[in-house]
Amino acid sequence: MRPGVLALQGDFAEHRRALEACGTDPIEVRTAADLEHVDALIIPGGESTTMLKLVDRYELREPLVKHIEAGLPVFGTCAGAIVLASKASDGEPPLGVLDVAVRRNAYGRQRESFEAEIDVTGVGIVPAVFIRAPVFEDPGEGVEVLATWAGRPVAVRSGRLLAIAFHPELAGTLAMHRFFLEEMA
């Protein structure tokens, strides 16, 4: 399997290193042609509005949606989860491939960032780094909530899409990356 990491903005290098530590040879995806060479994709954390503007600038919206609808496994972390959502509280329109609304910066701004231990269904207890994290609201039919924090969903799954509000690539564990590669891809 050859995973890719959307490498337009955000912490894609950290995800690439995590995938390498999992024994894969990931590629950085920047063009529609790059998408043709991956069997799974991570959309990293970063700034979702900027990321979505770059997706449009580089004409990736339609190819991304096409590949996802054709079954490409995708793992969105923090801003990457916002990119996948059907509706966002503000910012650029998301891809609309995951039937969930997201509220950006739900836990506060940068100075309110925090770490917690989260119990993720199918994974177990994982350290989670929340930085300007979103929450998922109104999950549609077929969207399974895998974890909550403070009573709000922070990890969801729908088919081959996995979206989390936190940053596993910054937590010092490969548990979420392995779960994605082994269970979703």
Residue 24: what pLDDT?
A: 97
Residue from 15, 167, 177, 183 carrying the catalytic annotation: 167
Residue 178: give the domain boundaries. Answer: 3-184
Residue 109: what pLDDT?
A: 67
Known catalytic membership, residue 117: no
CATH code of the domain covering residue 35: 3.40.50.880
At 29-49, the pLDDT tens digits run: 999 999 999 999 999 999 999
Known catalytic membership, residue 22: no
Known catalytic membership, residue 15: no
pTM: 0.95
Here the tokens at position 49 are 């509005």
At 76-102, the pLDDT tens digits run: 999 999 999 999 877 789 999 999 999
- For the chain, the domain total comes to 1
- 3-state DSSP percent of the chain in helix, strand and coil, to 5: 30, 30, 40
Residue from 15, 67, 78, 177 carrying the catalytic annotation: 78
Instruction: Fill in the DSSP letter of residue 37.
Output: T
Burial class (CB in 10 A: 0-12, 13-18, 19+), 21: exposed
